[in-house]
C-alpha cells in the first residue's frame, strides 16, 4: 500500500497552500450560532498556521446562499479550499428539509465540479440548544472541525497534484 500525501498534520502544522488562500463562506442567519462557528473556524485556521492575509471571509444571508458563494470563490482559482459555515434549525414546516438538502447537495457539487475542496460546516439541528452545543459548547465547535477538514483536503489535493506532475505521473 502506498499513501498518497502526508499523514494528517497535528495542529498547529503550518499548511503549504501553494501560494493560495483559504476562503470561508459564512451565513449570517441564526446569527448567534453562525458567529460562534465562524470564530471557531478562524481560530483553528490561525492555530494551524494559516497567515491572516491568507484567509478571506465572504458573508452570505443564509445557508441556501452558501453553494453559490462557494462556487464563485472556487472559480477564482485563488483558494486551496473553501469552508462553508451556517446553521439550520428545524421549524414547523418542511422549509428546513428543502434548505438543508439544497445546501448539502450544492456544496458537494461545487467541490466535485471545480476540484476545490469544500468543507461542510453547516449545522442541521432540531433545536437551538443542539446548535449551540455544536458551535463551541459541549459538542465542540464544528466550525473548527470544518477548518481542519478543509486544510487536510487541501494538503491531500496538493499531494495528488504533485504526484501527478512528477516524472511518470506516479
Residues 60-94 pLDDT 10s:
999 999 999 999 999 999 999 999 999 999 988 89
Count of domains in the chain?
Answer: 1
The reply to whether omega before 12 is within 30° of 0 (cis) is: yes
Does 55 map to a domain? yes
Does 71 map to a domain? yes
Higher local confidence (pLDDT), 3 or 58: 58
Cα 127 to Cα 33, 64, 88, 111: the distances in Å are 11, 19, 9, 29
Strands 135-137 and 140-141, by their bridges, are antiparallel
Supply the pLDDT for residue 162.
87
Does 16 map to a domain? no
Does 75 map to a domain? yes
Phi, psi of 126 (to 5 degrees): -80, -30
Residues 100-152 pLDDT 10s:
999 999 999 999 999 999 999 999 999 999 999 999 999 999 999 999 999 99
> Does residue 13 have a pLDDT over 60?
no
Does 99 map to a domain? yes
Structure pTM? 0.91
Assign residue 101 the CATH number of its domain.
Answer: 3.40.50.960
Supply the pLDDT for residue 2.
62
Which of the following is catalytic: 95, 105, 113, 115? 95
Supply the pLDDT for residue 163.
84
Does 11 map to a domain? no
Q: Does residue 95 have an active-site annotation?
A: yes
Domain of 140 in residue numbering reads as: 21-161
Does 84 map to a domain? yes
Amino acid at each position: 500500500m502506498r499513501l498518497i500525501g502526508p499523514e494528517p498534520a497535528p495542529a498547529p502544522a503550518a499548511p503549504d497552500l501553494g501560494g493560495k488562500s483559504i476562503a470561508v463562506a459564512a451565513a449570517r442567519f441564526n446569527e448567534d450560532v453562525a458567529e460562534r462557528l465562524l470564530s471557531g473556524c478562524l481560530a483553528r485556521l490561525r492555530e494551524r498556521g494559516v497567515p491572516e492575509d491568507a484567509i478571506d471571509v465572504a458573508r452570505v444571508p443564509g445557508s441556501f446562499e452558501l453553494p453559490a458563494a462557494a462556487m464563485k470563490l472556487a472559480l477564482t482559482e485563488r483558494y486551496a479550499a473553501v469552508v462553508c459555515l451556517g446553521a439550520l434549525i428545524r421549524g414547523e414546516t418542511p422549509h428546513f428539509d428543502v434548505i438543508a438538502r439544497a445546501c448539502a447537495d450544492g456544496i458537494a457539487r461545487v467541490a466535485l465540479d471545480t476540484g476545490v475542496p469544500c468543507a461542510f460546516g453547516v449545522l442541521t439541528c432540531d433545536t437551538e440548544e443542539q446548535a449551540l452545543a455544536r458551535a463551541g459548547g459541549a459538542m465542540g465547535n464544528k466550525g473548527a472541525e470544518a477548518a481542519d477538514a478543509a486544510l487536510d483536503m487541501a494538503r491531500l489535493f496538493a499531494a495528488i497534484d504533485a504526484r501527478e506532475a512528477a516524472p511518470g505521473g506516479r
